[in-house]
A and B are shown apart, each in its own frame.
Chain A
């Protein structure tokens, strides 16, 4: 099995210093029903001062077995979907570093977190003076999107009472959820394969604290998709649970290799009622 370990070669840099020799254990896990991988790396021999608790670090890793020499950067400050920091450092005599990584996780993060992304259906450059078309002017669309974000309902046929001053990244010609997810994925650098029924969106705003991943997930959430990431195609697949297009490849495990099987009882949520609110 020595050959296998060479393919799982990690080079970890802390403050641009290679700390690979101090790694004593690596554990990579993909929890159930997630697309991210959690890597737990135990370091030894480091000074505790070099790894203060709560610190943030740049960590390079080559963990892709298909591309064993590709160095990938998990940069400081990127937010995983369910945790505060990508890199958690537990101080002590033996510092422990826990990484929550995606495949290509960085592309799923917001590049400019202070910006609010607004998806509008039109091109946003039309200025029509007829009162009926005021709704399609970009300022009104932004206002409507922000209203939708904050759950405010206004009369769409009345002009906006105030001008929505601010800085927005406007994605125009976004009329449906699939278009929004695809555009968000392109901004993040990942293809989105929307295999779900599409639906028309109202003007849609994504708050400044929301990651691309969360935004895409929120768009697909009504259809409870199965989410896969195809590494070879850099594609995030949102699969309809009714169609069940799994994997595409079946791996046969010989009898001697399966050493133990633990059956788990029902652990999924049991849903009896679904309430869909259309603001």
Chain B
């Protein structure tokens, strides 16, 4: 179903007002020219397509003396036209055909267009135009039969040999040529005749595409004069340089970063694009860093001028929870640096420094053990005490994804240990899983092999993965049940993290004698002694009350009362508080 005109537009020009001056074949006496166009307008809007064009010329007496109809046929909106037809009607004297200047069809065009590339801009349509119409012949009035030469000429012109033998074949000219050249004598007894020749002219235009240009060759063949072949071209239409590409719709990866030894370990996984069911993994990852808060400051760079020297680090006050894993080979990532300290000057209310994202690494997608997209980098250009944020992008060729999630890392300085190292073993017979979690080395304990081992039997239900036989499984149906080691590992890390946080750090306990009956005391209460002056030493910690604004945690208490000499209980006069550093 081709498109049809939905919107019409008509323009009228009047000769009496001198609005137009058109020299045409029979423009004498034209009083009005009407140009009416029909357009297809999609209900959804967009480009308008010209479907039909009518030009009507009317004489002063109101009679139509010329009419042109041009139609374009489209298949779908947005594509080039497939066909163009044109008709010319008029009041023209044609000898032997229209002696009364009747209103007849004079010419007809059918143009087939071949859009070999429907979406390439420009007039690069190959086409074939056939023009039919009236041809004027002179007549040899005395001739009764045509010669062999004349028969051959008719055959060359692809015309029937049974036509009028008086035709002078070489005198053929179209009605338009005859009028413009004055070749029609409007007398009925003149030896002239008009015949409808279909077609009298064929125009072929070939458009071929080359990498840098289009080559256009136009050939016009007259069928009434076989030697009249006009070639136009080849003409060249230079291509305009343009870039047209679809970006790969990359999804951002997932980033995780953690302080690890003397640097920050950044791991990126995921990303890639799903192109109609085909997964395109990222070629590489770009890792960017932003410094949220600066690192250590010195006396020269203190913005508030209240710099104080760094007091000795109190190991026992630091609660270091390092959840970073070891290397994939199971080896800890050792750092040659000694344990450093973190210091932030008090009263520093300066805004966090935001210096934008800086590319720190572009790493290849090396893939993890399961073949999933994975990349890792290690950022060692970090300052102790600073807070960094990391994002990553997945890159395929020139395309990059959006930023991934933001991971914030506070770099606490180089440490000796590499965090918690879990190891999962599975009993092949019973299926029982054992997660052996080795804790981080304590900074203040030098000898190896210290510490106790806690064994827990937890009836946790781990998810079961049915792995295929190519993963080494064996079973009756080719599958085998196997505990999910990653779930066991994650659970072990959760357990170990809490045990090491609770028991792995040095802690100072104190016993306070308070000369007051604290009857409502409960475990969990926080107690601060802001005014009391006392000092206590335990392990490596030396705590003085007045410089220690942190409250203590009541871990237990003791109340007692005894009977006096009269046998009655005296009131409770004191409370013993067992406090601990929270």
Contact = CB atoms under 8 A, between A and B. Distances in A.
Interface stretch (B7-15, B343-351, B445-453): B445-453
Interface in A175-233: 197, 199-204, 221-226, 228-229, 231
B514 interface: yes
6 contacts: A1-B572, A30-B578, A247-B554, A252-B529, A268-B507, A277-B432
A130 interface: no
A273 B563 CA distance: 49
A139 B244 CA distance: 68
A256 B461 CA distance: 55
Contacts of B543: 263
A24 B502 CA distance: 40
Nearest to A221: B456
Given A5-B572, A255-B533, A246 B450 contact: no
A221 B456 CA distance: 8
Contacts of B325: none
A154 B573 CA distance: 61
A226 B518 CA distance: 22
Interface in B527-582: 527-534, 536-539, 543, 545, 551, 553-563, 567, 569-574, 578, 580, 582
A29 B457 CA distance: 32
A49 B523 CA distance: 38
Given A153-B431, A262-B510, A270-B450, A148 B531 contact: no
Contact of A263 (B488, B510, B523): B510
Given A23-B563, A29-B557, A263-B509, A222 B523 contact: no
Given A201-B459, A231-B522, 14 more contacts: A5-B571, A25-B563, A25-B569, A34-B556, A223-B498, A242-B498, A246-B582, A251-B521, A251-B528, A258-B513, A260-B512, A263-B509, A263-B510, A272-B451
A240 B525 CA distance: 16
A161 interface: no
Nearest to B457: A277
Contacts of B445: 270
A248 B524 CA distance: 8
Contact of A28 (B433, B510, B560): B560
B452 A269 contact: yes
B434 interface: yes
Shortest 10 CB-CB contacts between residues of A and residues of B: A272-B451, A263-B536, A1-B571, A5-B571, A255-B531, A27-B560, A153-B430, A200-B461, A271-B503, A278-B433
A277 B537 CA distance: 39
A266 interface: yes
Among A30, A225, A242, A253, which residue has the most Cβ atoms of chain B within 10 A? A253
A120 to B, nearest CB: 12
A279 B435 contact: no
B501 A153 contact: no
Contacts of A31: 556, 578
Interface stretch (B110-118, B125-133, B327-335, B436-444): B436-444
B365 interface: no
Interface of B: 321, 430-439, 442, 445, 449-462, 481, 483, 488, 491-492, 494-504, 506-534, 536-539, 543, 545, 551, 553-563, 567, 569-574, 578, 580, 582
A11 B11 CA distance: 115
B561 to A, nearest CB: 5
Contacts of B560: 25-29
Contacts of B495: 222-224, 274, 276
A271 B439 contact: yes
Given A204-B459, A255-B531, A224 B513 contact: no
A278 B526 contact: no
A30 B457 contact: no
Interface in A234-248: 240-242, 244, 246-248
A24 B513 CA distance: 23
Nearest to A231: B522
B142 to A, nearest CB: 110
Interface residues of A, number: 81
Contacts of A4: 517, 519, 571-572
B458 A278 contact: yes
Contacts of B538: 263-266
Among A151, A244, A260, which residue has the most Cβ atoms of chain B within 10 A? A260
A220 to B, nearest CB: 10
B546 to A, nearest CB: 10
Contacts of B498: 222-225, 240-242
Nearest to A249: B525
B519 A65 contact: yes
Given A30-B557, A253-B527, A273 B562 contact: no
A75 B534 CA distance: 44
A235 B370 CA distance: 46
Nearest to B562: A25
A148 to B, nearest CB: 5
B456 to A, nearest CB: 5
Contact of B452 (A26, A28, A30, A272): A272
Contacts of B561: 5, 8, 25-27
B508 A276 contact: no
B572 A8 contact: yes
Contact of A199 (B449, B460, B524, B571): B460
A246 B539 CA distance: 24
Contacts of A35: 523
A274 B499 contact: yes
Contacts of B507: 266, 268
Contact of B524 (A21, A222, A241, A246): A246
A275 B455 contact: yes
A3 to B, nearest CB: 7
A214 B556 CA distance: 20
Contacts of A3: 571
Given A5-B570, A25-B561, A65-B519, A268 B503 contact: yes
